[in-house]
Amino acid sequence: MSVVVFDRDAKRWHKVLSASADGASKFDYLRDEVAERVMDRLEDVNRNFTRALDLGCGRAHVSIAAKKLLQKDKVRSLLQVDQAGPIIDAAKRRCDEEGVHQKAFDVVDEEKIPFKKEEFDLVISSLALHWVNDLPGSMVQINNILRPDGLFVGSMFGGDTLSELRISMQLAEEEIWSGLSNHISPFVRLRDAGSVLGRGGFVLTTIDIEDIQVEFRDIFSLMRHLKGMGENNALIKRRTYFGNRAFKRADEIYKEKFGSEDGGIIATFQIIYMLGWKYADSQPQPLRRGSATASFKDLEGMSEVVDSKR
């Protein structure tokens, strides 16, 4: 049984409020950008897909980024799912606004994926799995609904995401309250991402990472944007009161340590991109140990021949 770290009910409510709020489009920029980069990686795959799932679609970030792929039939059909009806309603509205014609939707919890075995040949998940309590378990479920040689491609926030905010709040809390508590989600570390895919049953995996830095006026502006993205703190053991004095001190520390040239602050979002295939007999397989027909000794002999001819 996995350890319950996140309050899934609270996170569902955060996502509902952010997706359906007036002015929600102001906070789409990060997820839209990362979805574009996920689609760039998918476009490099020399394969067409007949039935795809967007797991944790949010405000239709992936389907909008995938418009060209959908039009070219690289992805023939796309089912968009998220964990609450109001989020799906927001995705539908945005698809209409952006001219996305692939509009199949369903309400699905990323921790309890209900689809039948081998239903899809592609599963995409962009910035949707970092609030899951049992990430390896969700990966097993994703693998189960993929057909043999099916592909999972996704992105997650990495361990250094919001490191500046974490440090500033910890220092302010220790100074004002003489104690420490968790205010930022514990994101997946790069070294663990490959392990998570492997435990999920994926093979031929690829992991890469990049940092996206965004400038904000102050810590209060950053917190408003995180709330607008639905990225409020949802830890089970979260501190419910931080206090204005501590926030003001955290803002001062943030500007001292991570200030921008314009007098604002810099926030880092570390993005881990993941790609993994479901096993199939037709895939390239590593050679059995001892099956090689050459050895390093042969190379030594070749080197001696080359040297003698100089």
| pLDDT per residue of the chain (310 residues) written in tens, 0 to 9 | 567 888 999 999 999 999 999 999 999 999 999 999 999 999 999 999 999 999 999 999 999 999 988 888 899 999 999 999 999 999 999 999 999 987 799 999 999 999 999 999 999 999 999 999 999 999 999 999 999 999 999 999 999 999 999 999 999 989 988 766 666 777 899 889 999 999 999 999 999 999 999 999 999 999 999 999 999 888 877 666 678 999 999 999 999 999 999 999 999 999 999 999 999 998 877 656 665 565 555 655 555 544 555 5
230: region left, alpha or beta (phi > 0 left; psi from -120 to 50 alpha) = left
289, part of any domain: no
The β-bridge partners of 215 are: 266
What pLDDT is recorded for position 2?
66
The β-bridge partners of 80 are: 54, 105
Residue whose token pair is 């990495």:
158
Alpha carbons 58 and 44: distance in angstroms, whole number: 24
- Cα torsion for 48, 49, 50, 51, to the nearest 10°? -170
257, part of any domain: yes
CA atoms within 13 Å, Cβ hemisphere of 142: 35
**137 residue type, one letter:** G
What pLDDT is recorded for position 85?
97
Asked whether 103 and 97 are in contact (CB, 8 A), the reply is: no
What pLDDT is recorded for position 287?
59
Q: What's the structural domain count of the chain? A: 1
Segments forming the whole domain that contains residue 162: 8-281
* Radius of gyration for the chain, computed over Cα atoms and rounded to the nearest angstrom: 23
292, part of any domain: no
What pLDDT is recorded for position 118?
97
290, part of any domain: no
- Residue 60 DSSP label: T
CATH of the domain at 35: 3.40.50.150
299, part of any domain: no
Report the SS3 class of residue 276.
strand
Helix (H), strand (E), coil (C) string for 177-220: HCCCCCCCCCCECHHHHHHHHHHCCEEEEEEEEEEEEEEECCHH
177, part of any domain: yes
CA atoms within 13 Å, Cβ hemisphere of 62: 30
Report the SS3 class of residue 154.
strand
117 CB-contact burial (10 Å; exposed 0-12 / middle 13-18 / buried 19+): exposed
Q: Model pTM greater than 0.75?
A: yes
268, part of any domain: yes
* Segment (H or E) for 151: strand 146-157
What pLDDT is recorded for position 306?
47
310, part of any domain: no
* Stated length of the chain: 310
Give Cα separations from 267 to 37, 128, 174 (angstroms): 19, 20, 21
CA atoms within 13 Å, Cβ hemisphere of 205: 20
Asked whether 170 and 145 are in contact (CB, 8 A), the reply is: no
